[in-house]
């Protein structure tokens, strides 16, 4: 673990990504404390104030709500989104990938289903699922979580295929251990590196895709402080007050960039062959 952390800190871009991720986590945890205003309080006498206005550093939206406070609370929504999506994709995808990679008879039927799902663009598959489940933040998270299962399945299957013929697995079989014991005790713990990296990158993709669904009106619904919803409700003011769209958009960009940089650095740190 110390070696991984040392390799990670040597990568300046990965360190930057980690800092961005930590800032988002702190904003999510401390939102009630650090937010200057209540994100839901409306004041129509102060609507669409520009950035730099007294008591409103980033200005106000079309209903007079403080944009900075809504962005800080939006970090909480984005963390919840990422965690739920990754949990859904990880829990189902890893199990399917492990079974597919280890049990050759089940490999083909599982991968046929996964290949069919992969033939759809991720956001299109999520749109179809949300159309069935109905609009809402929770349904959007479930939809993106389901659409992320194929990615976790493919990564896990590839790692299992590379490990199942290794000498320590053959030794476990020779000692009489059962298939499930070998799979879940010996193989999966040695597969955690690529799976963790996949989870980190999927976290960023989840935030981006749920924000896209919210922008289309299929995710979080007003007055929820969610970045995609903030962009959606403010897009009609784009030419009059571009800051209403710019600041939530920058928040999404920074967080997604942070997770991607951290994920890339983590991949390099966990794989000595890729370390610089």
Long-range contacts of 229-234 (CB under 8 A, 24+ apart): 230/61, 230/67, 230/70, 230/71, 230/74, 233/61, 233/62, 234/61, 234/62
**CA atoms within 13 Å, Cβ hemisphere of 7:** 17
pLDDT one-digit tens code per residue, 44-80: 999 999 999 888 999 999 999 999 999 999 999 999 9
Instruction: Give CA–CA dist 254/259, Å, rounded.
Output: 9
Asked if residue 223 has a cis previous peptide bond (ω within 30° of 0), the answer is yes
Q: pTM of the full predicted structure?
A: 0.87
Average pLDDT value for residue range 130-147: 89
CATH superfamily of 2-37+65-270: MetI-like (1.10.3720.10)
Closest CA relative to residue 244, chosen from 55, 56, 20? 56
pLDDT one-digit tens code per residue, 87-116: 999 999 999 999 998 888 889 999 999 998
């Amino acid at each position: 673990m110390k070696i991984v952390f040392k390799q990670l800190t040597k990568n300046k871009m990965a360190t930057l990504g980690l800092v961005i991720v930590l800032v988002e986590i702190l904003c999510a945890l401390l939102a009630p404390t650090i937010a200057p205003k209540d994100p839901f309080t409306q004041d129509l006498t102060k609507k669409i104030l520009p950035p730099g206005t007294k008591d409103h550093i980033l200005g106000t939206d079309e209903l007079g709500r403080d944009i900075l406070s809504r962005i800080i609370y939006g970090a909480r929504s984005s963390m919840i989104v990422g965690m739920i999506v990754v949990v859904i994709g990880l829990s189902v995808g890893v199990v399917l990938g492990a079974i597919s990679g280890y049990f050759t008879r089940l490999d083909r039927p599982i991968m046929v289903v996964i290949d069919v799902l992969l033939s759809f663009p991720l956001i299109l598959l999520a749109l179809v699922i949300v159309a069935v489940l109905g609009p809402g933040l929770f349904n959007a998270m479930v939809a993106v979580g389901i659409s992320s299962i194929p990615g976790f399945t493919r990564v896990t299957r590839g790692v299992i295929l590379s490990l199942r013929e290794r000498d320590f697995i053959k030794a476990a079989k020779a000692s009489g251990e059962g298939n499930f014991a070998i799979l879940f005790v010996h193989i999966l713990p040695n597969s955690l590196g690529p799976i963790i990296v996949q989870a980190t990158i999927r976290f960023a993709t989840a935030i981006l895709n749920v924000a896209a669904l919210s922008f289309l009106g299929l995710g979080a619904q007003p007055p929820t402080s969610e970045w995609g919803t903030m962009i959606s409700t403010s897009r009609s003011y784009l030419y009059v007050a571009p800051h209403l769209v710019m600041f939530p958009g920058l928040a999404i960009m920074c967080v997604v960039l942070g997770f991607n940089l951290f994920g890339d650095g983590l991949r390099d740190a966990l794989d000595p062959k890729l370390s610089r």
